[in-house]
Chains A and B, each alone.
Chain A
Amino acid sequence: MAGVRAAAGVGADAAIARQNDELAPGARTGRGRLAAGRRRQVAGWLFLAPAILYLLFAFALPIAYNVMLSFEQSSPETIASFTAPFAGLANYRFILTDPTTQSAIIHTFEFTAGSLIGQFIIGFALALLFSLRFPGRTIGRSLIIVPWLVPLLVTGVIFKFLFQLEGGAVNQILLDIGLAQHPIDWLETPQLGLLTILIANIWLGVPFFFLLLYSGLQDIPIEVKEAAVMDGAGPWQRLRLVVVPIILPVIEVTVLLGFVFTVKVFDLVVALTDGGPANATQLITTWSYNLSFQQFIFGEGAALNNVLLVLALICAPVYLWLSRDSLRRSTGAGR
């Protein structure tokens, strides 16, 4: 896989780079080689310049400013000004004591855990199914990624339509097959509201899990599968003892990225329930938006943003560790 190729590439790249220096015009003299090397350094930095400027403007600045905001005492009057009076830890005290904020944090955990479990089970089952040979698998495989291509806000709107109280498709199905005696008010019942956004999010996330796990399954050498069959392993044993251990790295990356995507979810909830009923479906993201852009208390919103940022960044070290092959490759290449 990528890691193996990367490790093999390092030595070859280094050899080619040496050769490259020798071949460059003017490389025969030491000074010429130095000048060529320096020119390449400058060129490399110039190629990187737009990206560095963009990262500073669109990531470093907002994160730093968000930290600053979280220590400011903001109000509707301070929206237009860049700074506001210093508030000390007041905004964080608010985050720790406000009941709606507390429930938003709990909902975020429930929503994230539920989504990951649902997306993984369904995505993995579909990946296994489509790894088998049967007529129509190619077209089926490409149709499964459709939900992933629908804009997130639009997904929310679609599910709002499907889960309507009267004339909604979901209630119609439940009534038709006799699972419900009267229409269920999905979007206006607190616990069901959270379940509805969970179902919608699982629907839109399954394609991502499917694609990654499917491509992981394709990388398992055919000999390994055949050997397992020869040894008389049943389907369940093959899955547990052969398939899962081999694609474990892919599973790790997929679940990690799934976590990152899920704690960020915003559009879907805004369209589907807008945090209601009675804040029962507020997540950290939607409640932060509510604090900053609807109650105009940016300081409190920024403090909650930082809680979210820390929560999301918990997985940063794991992500970097899982990407270590790709990182290491960069230090080795061309030296």
Chain B
Amino acid sequence: MTHLQRSRALRLLCTLGAVASLVVVLFPVYAVVVASFETTLTLLGNTYYFVPHGATLANYQVVLQAQAGHLLTSLIVGVGTAVLALVVAVPAGYALAKYPLRATVVLVSALLVAQIVPSIVIATSLFKVFHWIHLLNSYPGLILADGTYAIPFAILVLRAFFFSLPNEVMQAARVDGATEWQTFSRIVVPLGRSAVITVMVFAFLNGWGDFIFALTVLNGTTVEPITLAIYTYLGNFSQDWGAVMASVVFAIVPAAVMLVVAQRYIASGLTAGSVVG
């Protein structure tokens, strides 16, 4: 074999390996989409069909009737979590990067450690605390709880980003007579757009995908996001896989949209938060 042939064969081998691993990685998602179009009868049978076996939209009809409200709830929670994360994290990330405060080391250490705290620990206490201050079964309560996923990470990512802003930018604003707040809101935040979007995307997905706080600080009557609704539905109608899978499709949609729209933010956020953080 010539050198050229060998490298061409190698490249083909790589592509085949990549395709094979992607088939395994993506199969579960593929299976969900296929199942969401199958009839209940097919899904209850003893055979699994790898390709669609008689398509129907019945599952989606069931889901749109039963779950539309829960999807809206999840949307509100996701947006709420993103807004909370921005309000808390953007100024904090800026201050920790650009202001010489004595507490910086302590606070950054606290944020690193906060990322480690398991949610069940927080959930157990917040259930009792929320009971006491009447925040159970409410949007504000759930959003405050969901912020625990997003906020420490958000502050650290934003801090890492704001480090890279040259100090001259802020000096110029100050020389022009801008107050600290004006410098922050008119100069720093617009320049930090990409980091701010990264944080928003992550916080939204955290709020949208949360289950543990929905399970603990809600009782599923007034406020019920889609994750909790799917869990409850599966518990009540464990054989109705078609409807469950159609709900799952809806629960994955925002993530899929994000993947397409905000791909580079997702990848950069994931690595920034862990390596620099």
Task: List residues of A whose CB falls within 8 A of some B CB.
Answer: 1-2, 6, 9, 13, 16-17, 19-20, 23-25, 39-41, 43-48, 50-52, 54-55, 57-59, 61-63, 65-66, 69, 79-80, 82, 126, 129-130, 132-137, 140, 142-155, 157-162, 166-169, 171-172, 203, 206, 208, 211-212, 215-216, 250, 253-254, 257, 260, 263-264, 266-267, 270-271, 285, 288-289, 292-293, 298, 301-302, 305-306, 308-309, 312-313, 315-316, 319-320, 323, 326-327, 329-331, 333-335
Interface residues of B in 58-108 (CB under 8 A from A): 87-89, 91-92, 94-101, 103-105, 107-108
* Interfacial chain B residues near A161, Cβ < 8 Å: 31-32, 35, 241, 244-245
Residues of A contacting B43 with CB < 8 Å? 167
Interface contacts (Cβ under 8 Å), in number, total: 336
What's the minimum C-beta distance from B146 to chain A, rounded to whole angstroms?
A: 10
Would you list 27 pairs from A and B whose C-beta atoms are within 8 A, ordered by A residue? A6-B163, A39-B180, A47-B94, A47-B95, A50-B87, A51-B151, A54-B147, A58-B122, A63-B117, A129-B21, A135-B15, A143-B26, A150-B29, A151-B211, A158-B31, A158-B32, A167-B43, A257-B274, A271-B234, A301-B124, A306-B121, A313-B116, A319-B112, A323-B277, A327-B105, A327-B109, A333-B163
Q: With A and B bound together, what is the CA distance between A308 and B48 in angstroms?
A: 40
In the complex, B237 has a CB within 8 A of chain A: no
Interface of B, helix, strand, loop or mixed by DSSP:
helix
Contacting residues, chain A, for B151 (C-beta < 8 A): 51, 54-55, 58
Count B-side interface residues using an 8 Å CB cutoff: 115
- Please determine whether B21 and A126 come into contact, CB atoms closer than 8 angstroms: yes
Q: Most chain-A Cβ atoms within 10 A of its Cβ — which of B14, B89, B244?
A: B14
**CB-nearest residue of chain A to B151:** A54
Q: Is the CB of A158 within 8 A of B94?
A: no
Complex formed: what's the CA distance from A292 to B225 in Å? 22
**Which residues of the partner chain B approach A48 to less than 8 Å between Cβ atoms?**
91-92, 95-96, 101, 103, 107
Closest CB pairs A-B (n = 8) = A151-B209, A44-B99, A51-B92, A62-B125, A149-B255, A43-B180, A172-B48, A47-B95
Would B276 and A326 count as touching, CB distance under 8 A?
Answer: yes
- B188-226 residues with Cβ-Cβ distance < 8 A to A are 205, 208-212, 215-216
Q: 8 additional contacts, CB 8 Å, given A24-B174, A50-B87? A: A2-B275, A54-B151, A137-B18, A171-B48, A288-B124, A289-B216, A292-B127, A334-B99
| Chain B residues within 8 Å of A257, by CB | 274
A41–B95 alpha-carbon span in the complex (Å): 10
Contact A330 B29 (CB under 8 A): no
Q: Return chain B residues, CB-CB under 8 Å to A65.
A: 125, 128-129
Q: Which of B12, B109, B259, B276 has a CB less than 8 Å from the CB of A149?
A: B259
Q: Complex Cα distance A271/B99, Å? A: 45
Q: Using an 8 Å CB-CB cutoff, how does the interface string of B260-277 with A read, 1 for contact, 0 for none?
A: 000100110011001111
B95 contacts across to A, CB distance below 8 A? 44-45, 47-48
- Main DSSP-derived SS at the A contact region: helix
Complex partner residue of B263 from A1, A20, A142, A169, CB under 8 angstroms: A142
A133 & B11 in contact (Cβ 8 Å cutoff): yes
The reply to whether B125 and A66 form a contact with Cβ atoms under 8 Å apart is yes
A329 and B46 form a contact (CB under 8 A): no
Most interface-central of A16, A44, A52 (chain B CB within 10 A): A44
User: In the complex, what residues of A have CB within 8 A of residue B28's CB?
Assistant: 147, 155, 158-159, 162, 203
Chain A residues near B119 (CB, 8 Å)? 264, 266
B177 at interface (Cβ–Cβ under 8 A)? yes
Chain B, residues 145-188, CB within 8 Å of chain A (1/0): the string is 10110011001000010010001101100110100110010000
Shortest distance in angstroms between B135's beta carbon and chain A's nearest beta carbon?
11
Q: How far is the CA of A137 from the CA of B27 in the complex (A)?
A: 19
In the complex, B142 has a CB within 8 A of chain A? no
A160 to B241, CA, bound (A): 10
Could you tell me if B18 and A140 are in contact, using CB atoms closer than 8 angstroms? yes
In the complex, what's the smallest C-beta–C-beta distance from B259 to chain A, in angstroms?
6
B57 at the interface (CB under 8 A from A): no
Instruction: Report Cα–Cα, A227/B14, bound state, in Å.
Output: 23
Q: Is the CB of A45 within 8 A of B14?
A: no
Judge whether A145 and B266 touch: CB under 8 Å.
yes
Docked pose: A143 CA to B21 CA in angstroms: 11
**Is B99 touching A144 in the complex (CB atoms < 8 A)?**
no
Identify the interface centre among B18, B119, B152, B155: most chain A CB within 10 Å of its CB.
Answer: B18
Q: Chain A CB within 10 Å — which of B19, B29, B132 has the most?
A: B29
